[in-house]
Amino acid sequence: MSEIEYGDWMSESDALMWHMERDPLLRSTITSVWVLDRAPDPERFRAALEHAVAEIPRMRQRVVADRAGIAPPKWEFDALFDPTYHIRSGRIGGAGSLRDLLDHAAPLAGQAFDKDRPLWELHLLDGMADGRAGIIMKLHHAISDGVGLVKMTGSLLERSREPTGATEPVTPSPVDRVPEPSDSAARLREVLRHQAETGLKRGAGLVSSMGRSAVQLARDPIGTSQSAIDTAGSIARSLRPVSEPMSPIMVGRSMSVRFDALQVELARLKRAGARADGTVNDAYVAAVLGGLARYHRHHGAEIDELRMTMPINVRAAGDRGATAGNVFAPARFTVPLGIDDPVERMAAVRELVRRQRAEPAYARVGGISAALYSLGPSVFTRLTGSMLKAIDFVTSNVPGPPFPVYASGALVERNIPFGPLSGAGLNVTLYGYDGIAEIGINVDTAAVPDGDVLTACLDESFGEVTALS
């Protein structure tokens, strides 16, 4: 994990994920549910966890807020860190089915973290049918986005069932050791120093940007002016509040969720997307749209469009997960439900996503986050709520290993992702693992009280799309 960079201070994007939980409907917990073919070897698993805790700073760090409200929160090592609080064992009730495991995971995902401790939990569960075991991992979105999470959790996984050799112990470096408590004056000096350094970096970036803009303006005054107008309009669209969901039936919001899961062959999704000159993601989103159209028809609600959020990874080339934290832009846009032909639907999705990726605002997500953060946590939370609570649904696509992995001798048969609702009615997340698209469906039960019906509609739609392959 040494290639991942862990800063001492939250970025403004991370801080926004942290502060928006002042509204409990905007909680941003990421949950992953693993199904193992057997229980992990206890000693190997303990050693792997100790290695991960020593190697990944965030697993030992808690959030310390700046009381003066000048700077974003800081990550500091927890002097009272107790791994037994975060690593828990239990037993699944019922018949030990996947349904029982998901029902066990859903309320855990809905519980808020203890903000005075590191923001993660790992639940190791036995009692599954046929000798299987389950693992539920949850962490706060302020730690990382999905791409960073895949990198961070890699230290718990192996490429083979048999041990490949003793795990070398990792000793935290001197800079990782728990600092001595500092007084208020020392903390204030630290905050002011950080803000001064950040301001200098931003100032240098602004001067450089202004220089480039001046050159561009001299060379192409009309094109440069139009670009500035387009950027301003893009930023305005990205921040525009919305008053109510577009769906006439998925309108309720609560703090109760239901988890469901589907599996689809990635190769079939890829071939289906190619029918519309598109990608796996185009086929995936088109299948979700088809399922939602079926669900609305089931309830007698004919609707042509819904509002969707799709996180767009804005990491630079070569930085695919090398930076811990959130490096994505939350694209919000309307998507069609009235296209029956799946090939036409995929083509429409391809064009919509292409346009969204080209939005100028997303290249400036860091500056936008900084501007929003400067408004203060309370104002930001209200603004965020006005943008997110009326979102109908979220889709996300996270790449995982294209080969099987093991957890201390146990094969990870399934790795099911569940993204946060953050005010939406449902979240559908795809995680690619060993040639399979693991699709986690997280629904707010007030918006979707019959989650089994929605899952059946989605399953039928994925079948329709993959049949094209």
- Residues with active-site annotation: 141
Q: Which two tokens stand for residue 5?
A: 């960079």
Beta-bridge mates of residue 425: none
Q: Residue 330: beta bridge partners?
A: 311
Within 8 A by CB and 6+ apart from 316, the residues are none
Token reading at 286? 């088109």
Contacts 24+ apart (CB under 8 A), 172-175: 172/54, 172/60
Amino acid at 325: G
User: In 10 A of CB 375, how many CB atoms?
Assistant: 12
SS3 199: helix
**What is the number of other CB atoms lying within 10 angstroms of the CB of residue 87?**
16
Which 8-state DSSP code applies to residue 79?
T
Could you tell me if 397 and 279 are in contact, meaning their C-beta atoms sit under 8 angstroms apart? no
9 DSSP 8-state letter: B
Q: Please provide residue 236's backbone torsions phi and psi, each rounded to the nearest 5 degrees.
A: -60, -40
Residue 373's nearest CA partner among 9, 25, 63, 13 is 13
Q: Which two tokens stand for residue 10?
A: 């939250």
Q: Reduce the DSSP state of residue 222 to 3 states and report it.
A: helix
| C-alpha span between 242 and 233 (Å, rounded) | 16
Buried b (16+ CB within 10 A) or exposed e, 307-345: bbbbbebbeeeeeebebbbbbbbbbbbebbbebeebbeb
Using CA atoms, how far apart are residues 46 and 172, in angstroms rounded to an integer?
Answer: 17
| Count of beta carbons in the 10 Å neighbourhood of residue 256 | 12
Is residue 426 within 8 Å of 441, Cβ to Cβ? Answer: yes
How many CB atoms neighbour CB 73 within 10 A? 17
d(CA 367, CA 11): 11
Separation CA 448–CA 441 (nearest Å): 11
Beta strands in 323-377 (DSSP E): 328-336
Distance CA 411, CA 409 (A): 7
Q: Which two tokens stand for residue 250?
A: 């998925």
